[in-house]
């Protein structure tokens, strides 16, 4: 018998590894039958005949209001009996789903949020993709959706980007949002683990965000996002629908996001779909600290941006450097009262939210049940340094192992004339087939071109 630490419900790294190993043998009590793995080399490709509209003016992108997805998406069906079917890259379009599909009733859904960046050297990059694909496996395990190889998912993301990247990322400095999603599809009411599922990846245009300071509204006493033993650490749809009512109140009152508190002690956890950081002077030692909530209780999301901020700060900010005073990097529980004290004693230097969608956003104000808390500096020194370093890595100005280049053989900066679009996409796919970076994934591509 597997040791308790390797039980899938534990979600430890060992349990997740165990879950991958078991992914082909979990169904129907069959333990010796090999089910199909997620396999990018089986990809079938259908290029669109009606390209979607690219919005060159990023201010026209109605993020959150209009569907600004790109020309293609990738779908992969899974069934308990057969495992993963051949992935399909095809024109973006609606899903055929039974009204009794599991995800529509029991929230068997999880997702990821990543970005692809067009670098200043013309290359297309994704940021620490292995962190996102591994986290997606943790999320899917938490809600009884099937396992998959994270590196196979990464490969599929790269193939989709290589197809749509040339048209949809025409200029240095722009980016696309990447949304890998997994849903339980099997049509049968009855509360049980989904017997069918579908993985899909869509890409969407995203507005270039202007430097905007965020104002946060601390969550109400009667409202909670996550709790120990729950699923706050997983990127599952079930975490977000119920939080929209609080988000709506925040917007109506002139704030940008909710700062989620936990427990009567008002522990500070995270802000909207971002992790939350403060820079303050420690009450006892007077030393400058970069502080964020710990992952221990599994009530906050293990953000890739959060990790990257912590790692960069440990690497580059813990020794004094000219004007920049060294700081300590601390993951620990702290409360709203600690924040209020720090602000009153003039020790609260900076605050920011960190996540893929809205990157590093400086926080200029937090409202907590009648009190306003202001960090001393909006767009502070440490916030600015961390933001600049991350941006340089994402856009290829600093060469770094976190930024993974996605090869696109057909990319040209001026390839955007509308009537050439389809031919260019077809040509790009042909060249991708010859690109060693995409073998073996595309060796057996059956392009209907
Ligand atoms: C996605 C998300 C984050 C940020 O994670 P990143 O990997 O940095 O994008 C933080 N908190 C919540 C609740 C999230 O959904």
Dump pLDDT digits (tens) for 115-133.
Answer: 999 999 999 999 999 999 9
> At 323, is the pLDDT very low, low, confident or very high (cuts 50, 70, 90)?
confident
113 Cβ inside 6 Å of ligand 1:
yes
301 Cβ inside 6 Å of ligand 1:
yes
> At 28, is the pLDDT very low, low, confident or very high (cuts 50, 70, 90)?
very low
How many domains is the chain partitioned into structurally? 2
Q: CB of 130 within 8 A of CB of 124?
A: no
Q: At which residue do the structure tokens 């605050």 appear? A: 351
Of 337, 258, 269, 335, give the one whose Cα is nearest residue 297: 269
414 in any annotated domain = no
437 in any annotated domain = no
For the chain, how long is the longest CA-to-CA vector?
Answer: 68
CA angle 136, 137, 140 (to 5 degrees): 85
- CA separation for the pair 259, 175 (Å, rounded): 27
CA nearest ligand 1 atom 12, residue: 273
428 in any annotated domain = no
Q: Let me know if 320 is exposed, middle or buried by CB neighbors in 10 A (0-12, 13-18, 19+).
A: exposed
235 Cβ inside 6 Å of ligand 1:
yes
- CA separation for the pair 438, 429 (Å, rounded): 11
Do 273 and 190 share a domain, yes or no? no
CA nearest ligand 1 atom 14, residue: 273
Dump pLDDT digits (tens) for 255-282.
Answer: 999 999 999 999 999 999 999 999 999 9
- CA separation for the pair 346, 374 (Å, rounded): 10
Residue 61 confidence (pLDDT): 82
Which tokens hold the place of 90?
A: 């095809």
Determine the atom of ligand 1 nearest the C-alpha atom of 304.
7
Instruction: Return all residues near 370 (Cβ < 8 A) that are at least 6 apart.
Output: none
Determine the atom of ligand 1 nearest the C-alpha atom of 239.
13
Do 186 and 219 share a domain, yes or no? no
271 Cβ inside 6 Å of ligand 1:
no
Region 430-449 average pLDDT: 52
Instruction: Return all residues near 242 (Cβ < 8 A) that are at least 6 apart.
Output: none
> At 64, is the pLDDT very low, low, confident or very high (cuts 50, 70, 90)?
confident
Calculate how far, in angstroms, residue 236's C-alpha sits from the geometric centre of ligand 1: 11
> At 10, is the pLDDT very low, low, confident or very high (cuts 50, 70, 90)?
low
Do 167 and 262 share a domain, yes or no? no
How many other β-carbons are positioned within 10 Å of the β-carbon of residue 307? 16
Mutation pick for ligand 1 pocket among 115, 306, 353, 360 (CB with most ligand atoms within 8 Å): 306
Mean pLDDT (the chain, rounded): 88
Do 224 and 163 share a domain, yes or no? no
Q: Say which CATH number the domain at 8 has.
A: 3.30.470.10
Residue 20 confidence (pLDDT): 56
304 Cβ inside 6 Å of ligand 1:
yes
CA nearest ligand 1 atom 13, residue: 273
Dump pLDDT digits (tens) for 193-248.
Answer: 999 999 999 999 988 766 689 999 999 999 999 999 999 999 999 999 999 999 99
Calculate how far, in angstroms, residue 132's C-alpha sits from the geometric centre of ligand 1: 10
Phi, then psi, of 223 in degrees rounded to 5 = -135, 135
Domain span at residue 396 reads 214-403
Do 165 and 49 share a domain, yes or no? yes
Do 196 and 224 share a domain, yes or no? no
How many other β-carbons are positioned within 10 Å of the β-carbon of residue 114? 26
Which helix (H) or strand (E) segment is 183 a member of?
Answer: strand 175-184
């Amino acid at each position: 018998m597997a040791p308790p630490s390797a039980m899938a419900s534990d979600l430890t790294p060992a349990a997740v590894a165990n879950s991958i190993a078991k992914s082909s043998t979990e169904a129907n009590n069959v333990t010796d039958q090999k089910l199909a793995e997620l396999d990018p080399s089986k990809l079938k490709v259908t290029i669109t005949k009606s390209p979607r509209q690219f919005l060159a003016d990023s201010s026209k992108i109605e993020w959150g209001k209009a569907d600004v997805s790109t020309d293609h998406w990738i779908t992969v069906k899974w069934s308990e009996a057969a495992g993963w079917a051949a992935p399909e890259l095809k024109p973006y379009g609606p899903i055929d789903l039974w009204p009794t599909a599991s995800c529509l009733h029991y929230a068997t859904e999880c997702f990821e949020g990543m970005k692809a960046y067009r670098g200043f050297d013309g290359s297309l990059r994704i940021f620490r993709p292995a962190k996102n694909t591994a986290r997606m496996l943790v999320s899917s395990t938490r809600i009884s959706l099937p396992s998959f190889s994270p590196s196979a998912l990464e490969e599929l993301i790269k193939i989709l980007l290589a197809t749509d990247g040339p048209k949809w990322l025409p200029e240095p400095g722009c980016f696309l949002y990447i949304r890998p999603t997994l849903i339980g599809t099997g049509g049968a009411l009855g509360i049980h683990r989904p017997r069918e599922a579908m993985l899909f990846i869509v890409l969407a245009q995203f507005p270039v965000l202007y430097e905007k300071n965020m104002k946060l509204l601390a969550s109400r006493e009667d409202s909670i996002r996550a709790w120990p033993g729950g699923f706050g650490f997983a990127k599952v749809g079930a975490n977000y629908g119920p939080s929209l009512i609080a988000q709506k109140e925040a917007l109506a009152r002139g704030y940008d996001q909710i700062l989620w508190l936990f427990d009567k002690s008002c522990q500070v956890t995270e802000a909207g779909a971002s992790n939350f950081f403060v820079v303050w002077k420690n009450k006892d030692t007077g030393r400058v600290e970069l502080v964020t909530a710990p992952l221990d209780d599994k009530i906050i999301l293990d953000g890739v941006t959060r990790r990257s901020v912590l790692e960069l700060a440990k690497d580059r900010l813990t020794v004094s450097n000219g004007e920049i005073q060294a700081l300590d990097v601390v993951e620990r529980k702290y409360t709203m009262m600690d924040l209020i004290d720090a602000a009153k004693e003039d020790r609260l230097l900076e605050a920011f939210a960190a996540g893929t969608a809205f990157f590093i956003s400086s926080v200029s104000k937090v409202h907590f049940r009648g009190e306003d808390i202001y960090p001393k500096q909006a767009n502070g020194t440490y916030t600015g340094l961390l933001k600049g370093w991350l941006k340089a890595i994402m856009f290829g100005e600093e060469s770094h192992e976190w930024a993974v280049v996605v090869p696109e053989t057909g990319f040209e900066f001026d390839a955007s004339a509308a009537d050439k679009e389809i031919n260019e996409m077809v040509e790009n796919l042909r060249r991708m087939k010859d690109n060693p970076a995409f073998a073996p994934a595309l060796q057996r591509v059956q392009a209907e071109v």
